[in-house]
Amino acid sequence: MHVGFSPGAMAITADGCTAYLTNFGWPGTGDTVTPVNLATGQPGRPIKVGKDPVAITITPNGRIAYVSNGLSDTITPIRIR
């Protein structure tokens, strides 16, 4: 499955249904996080984040993922529920 350029960090929701993968910067597919339905293996629409996403974590309640962006010195919250 294609999820973007140079996928790196991954976090999985507590229910085990979705994985979120960071994608390194590259025109058109980079500086994003791609959700993947683990039951079907199908990637969802990439979510734009800061430059060079290097880490991702999901809150214990499963509602927000936080992405650490290395080259923009930012954190991007992603509402996932």
- CATH, domain range 7-79: 2.40.10
Q: What is the DSSP letter of 81?
A: -
The SS3 call for residue 7 is: strand
CA distance 74 to 26: 18
Confidence label for 7 from pLDDT (cuts 50, 70 and 90):
confident
31-80 per-position pLDDT tens digit: 999 999 999 999 999 999 999 999 999 999 999 999 999 889 999 999 99
Domain-by-domain residue ranges, the chain?
7-79
pTM comes to 0.89
